[in-house]
Structure 1
């Protein structure tokens, strides 16, 4: 009976293997100097009927839609004997073969000249491949295993940095479409440093840093030691590392001044693209991206919103929870560097001040909730549009909005429950991340209720600060740590952001137009004196208090010479003619955070203890 059972099982496995003949890709680079790759997709045991295949329009880690099909051409299809098959293009990125005999080979040319975490970049030094921007895929075959062979590796002197599982002979394996699309790959003569981390379960996953940069091995080794210190600090937050699928995790780092720049998390790797000349001399600056992206290997890759499952490659998934998935990660990305000793506590106070400003003085946060901010990611997350938007008034980044929310919750847990945000993240890990059970907003609230033993607190917090637009009392909360929230420029006049940021990290919203006057190119925030005076995008400021204005600094100089309550006469033009208006200046609303000590005050023992526990290392 046992022998018969084994025979039946073996037969079942054979049937399954036959039903799931792998999709096999070959990627070659005969024209790398001109940013092209030649790609083939081999389909075996294809079911009868029309076969439809396409390029993706979205990418793991990104939340907006992207048109990857625009960089694919010379698309052709052949049968097993190499005979051309009739191929129709249904849409810009969708193709169909109506008749075939079971095996199909699709070939195409890919152009890639944008090195970031979303697209593909190819030249004679490397092939930087984000898979949704690289690989076509076939409807109905998303569960099949996948093999990719990278050709021309020896010719170019390249090796592969990837989370794909190596099978030898420059061939790599992925269990299905979801995994392969989540597997960025850098082919280059990169330098590598690696180390093992002893996990709480006794396993020793290998952590690898691969660096395609103009650095020597000693620089890469030294930077790897900094990354290793950061890894241990993040491990301490959750109590353990994730169980990486193939026993290792890879930082895929590409550093060059003409790169687009990016950081993009993936399940067992992260793609980090940086724009400095090299790593050497820029280590602290570069480390921030590593810290943020590695935290994602818990938060978003495994503590994962249901709204991102399964990931849809035909259009962007809309998520309600990016304030936590990205925002809480943003909070820890900076906090961890302070705990690890790379940033001083004084440095971190600047970060806190920027976070508080993002929620207290931006129109997006004043009128829209963190959940609504998260939903807008389908347009905001590197989404490409040529027409202007009103983002200045309707959107505050879920990165900063969420990070500011994390700051408030951390301080409240510490002072009201003798808990920390680390405890909450660990509870989320155990309830949803480790068992890989995706969550929704109600789940997040329930975990907070269980952790604090106070369902009313959790319900109130989510009602007011997650689904609502209430703001935490940051002044009171920071005071509990002996920190003071105060105006950054008390008594200084302010007209609003029409060309100059009101808080660190914001974008300038106007530019010189090359003609007489200063053109406002983006929507003016609706809580500013300039907006109240009727100024907005499309207006050209030509004079302020009868002084000529040619660029923003001319306007700013007039404002800087005044005080809150003063007025500025502004002459401007637009399509309806020449106009004048009066801006009544207000006090600059931006905040900063300083210590009691800097203000000449003495913090209490409890305030110092809270601050020390919050910002000090957790590595034992």
Structure 2
């Protein structure tokens, strides 16, 4: 066979393979930003290979990593539809978030305008500083084509020196590729005049993209060193990084004054916006979000609850496993900071104390278990409502609750010469690395396998399926921490400028006396309040059990109630001093294996 014939055959094969590849791309988008000043994007979408006589296209109602409804269709307008030949079609609206079209020729072309001005991890923001895009808030989609391939072209503002950063696969120029709808919607995009830093872990790239006009290169370099330390420290928990789909993981850090603080995990990237520049405290304040979101590459992105698979963009997504998916991640974010030397042990303990008091003094445990607290996510996870709720008494964040359970499990395992790192590795190998979605029963069985049936059953039956409080005093003592319980006089509600700002805590003096959110405290006993007075400091001048008269205002009328001075439980947690008799060599070793670096 001649060389020319061989070249002809290879060219023909390449043509056929290219044609086959293109034929699979059924959704194509082009997005441009001519009117970025007024927060608008112009989007043109072409959908082919349509089989249904009546085509449906829609906007997402939810977003990966979020659990509430967000109704992104509210910011879509100027919708126009044609068939593949340019014939105008009429779109009807069967509901607030979708459109239906008849009479197409297997193709529909949809153009629309998107308004976007909320730069967090859930929504999108377009202005002359950037196009910060969460794709469920950006692109319509055709449910019929969800399993087919997708192409996106970004027509960027070269006059603003914009560049593109995303986990989407780069094809050519400003065109990117997603293998299906799920991957597209899981791929945030930052388009701006950003800077990058990168390093390799074995054969994979870790890329840090920074959009922060106020930060110096020196501040970026110093911050990137912290990011590297977090990555390498967390890698030690599982012993490896996951295999990223295209050999790369990208931090999309937008630290601009127009951004809204947030962190949102994705399969091969994370969106971590903040209004704090690295030049204005962001080096210290933003690193915790980096630590939390990176840990999600294992826990939630690949080690994934079965209840979230597949993610449904047409409704709220509920899971009873967020105490583990979000809560254990919250335990490890600060733990990795202290292990890597970014946070001092003293500061770490201070943070534990605040979370510890929030969780274990809350009345919410009498209403919901950790699993049931996780079920509340669609109502609390960036969800908005106009009616009042009683969350102060009924809800404990699954982030905080789960982090305290992670702490309890870790320290309890250490009493058996085991640890949570190794349990997480076991679960990772069984359900994360294999990407087999897990159930709470799988987590329970894995703990039984790891630490013994008696231990595993006791932990889950008392602290996961019920709302018991672990024996922290014993657990803390083995790592050189002393837990003390104090009773301090407390009103039982937050008061600012004399106004009660929260629902009174069940069982508190404010609750028992019948005070309500919105009441204005005018006088306690013989003491007239002014706007700057601390109500608890005033109550401290009385004795526990003493009954005093309180004058207050409600709905414009003055009223009087009797208040009984009462206390509330406050927990104190302290590191034992190095010269303390209780701090034995063994306890020092236990603390070191818990808090010291694993790198």
Q: TM-score, normalised by structure 2?
A: 0.94
Looking at structure 1, the residues matched to 533 and 55 of structure 2 have their Cα atoms a distance apart, in angstroms, of 60
Change over 3 Å in CA distance of 1:17–1:491 after alignment to 2: closer
Q: Which residue of 1 aligns with 2:125?
A: 121
> Pairwise mapping of residues 457-536 of structure 1 onto structure 2 (< 5 A)?
457-487=455-485, 490=486, 492-499=488-495, 511-512=496-497, 518-536=498-516
SS in 2 for 1:101: coil
SS in 2 for 1:140: helix
* Aligned-residue offset at 1:89: 1.8
Deviations 1:394-448 (A, max 9, x none): 1000000000000000010000x21100011101100100000000010000111
Change over 3 Å in CA distance of 1:185–1:607 after alignment to 2: same
Deviations 1:505-527 (A, max 9, x none): xxxxxx44xxxxx4334322213
Change over 3 Å in CA distance of 1:550–1:40 after alignment to 2: farther
Change over 3 Å in CA distance of 1:220–1:394 after alignment to 2: same
* Aligned-residue offset at 1:301: 0.2
Change over 3 Å in CA distance of 1:171–1:279 after alignment to 2: farther
More displaced stretch, 361-370 vs 293-302:
361-370
More displaced stretch, 348-357 vs 134-143:
348-357
Which of residues 67, 88, 95 is equivalent to 1:63? 67
> Pairwise mapping of residues 428-443 of structure 1 onto structure 2 (< 5 A)?
428-443=427-442
SS in 2 for 1:579: strand
Question: C-alpha root-mean-square deviation of aligned residues, in Å?
Answer: 2.2
Q: Unpaired runs of 5+ in structure 2?
A: 1-12
Query: Is the contact made by 2:493 and 2:501 (CA closer than 8 Å) also made in structure 1?
Result: no
Q: Which residue of 2 aligns with 1:273?
A: 273
Q: Which residue of 1 aligns with 2:4?
A: none
SS in 1 for 2:112: strand
Q: Which residue of 2 aligns with 1:594?
A: 574
More displaced stretch, 395-404 vs 82-91:
82-91
Change over 3 Å in CA distance of 1:344–1:132 after alignment to 2: same
Q: Does 1:342 align with 2:346?
A: no
* Aligned-residue offset at 1:575: 5.1
* Aligned-residue offset at 1:601: 4.7
* Aligned-residue offset at 1:10: 11
Looking at structure 2, the residues matched to 313 and 375 of structure 1 have their Cα atoms a distance apart, in angstroms, of 18
Query: Is the contact made by 2:207 and 2:248 (CA closer than 8 Å) also made in structure 1?
Result: yes
Looking at structure 1, the residues matched to 238 and 256 of structure 2 have their Cα atoms a distance apart, in angstroms, of 33
Query: Is the contact made by 1:162 and 1:183 (CA closer than 8 Å) also made in structure 2?
Result: yes
Q: Unpaired runs of 5+ in structure 1?
A: 1-8, 199-203, 500-510, 513-517
SS in 1 for 2:88: coil
Deviations 1:58-86 (A, max 9, x none): 00011111121111110110122322111
Looking at structure 2, the residues matched to 554 and 219 of structure 1 have their Cα atoms a distance apart, in angstroms, of 40
Query: Is the contact made by 2:25 and 2:151 (CA closer than 8 Å) also made in structure 1?
Result: no
Change over 3 Å in CA distance of 1:428–1:371 after alignment to 2: same
Query: Is the contact made by 1:358 and 1:365 (CA closer than 8 Å) also made in structure 2?
Result: no
More displaced stretch, 429-438 vs 341-350:
341-350
* Aligned-residue offset at 1:224: 1.2
Q: Does 1:98 align with 2:97?
A: no
Which of residues 134, 156, 161 is equivalent to 2:160? 156
Q: Which residue of 2 aligns with 1:606?
A: 586
Q: Does 1:45 align with 2:49?
A: yes
Looking at structure 1, the residues matched to 197 and 18 of structure 2 have their Cα atoms a distance apart, in angstroms, of 40
* Aligned-residue offset at 1:24: 0.3
> Pairwise mapping of residues 15-54 of structure 1 onto structure 2 (< 5 A)?
20-54=24-58
* Aligned-residue offset at 1:15: 10
Q: Which residue of 2 aligns with 1:330?
A: 330
More displaced stretch, 113-122 vs 490-499:
490-499
Change over 3 Å in CA distance of 1:332–1:266 after alignment to 2: same
Query: Is the contact made by 1:38 and 1:108 (CA closer than 8 Å) also made in structure 2?
Result: yes
Q: Does 1:87 align with 2:91?
A: yes
Change over 3 Å in CA distance of 1:609–1:586 after alignment to 2: farther
Which of residues 559, 562, 568 is equivalent to 1:579? 559
Q: Which residue of 1 aligns with 2:449?
A: 450
Q: Does 1:539 align with 2:505?
A: no
SS in 2 for 1:437: coil
Q: Which residue of 1 aligns with 2:6?
A: none
Q: Which residue of 1 aligns with 2:355?
A: 355
Q: TM-score, normalised by structure 1?
A: 0.90
Query: Is the contact made by 1:491 and 1:564 (CA closer than 8 Å) also made in structure 2?
Result: no
Length, aligned pairs only: 586
Query: Is the contact made by 2:493 and 2:500 (CA closer than 8 Å) also made in structure 1?
Result: no
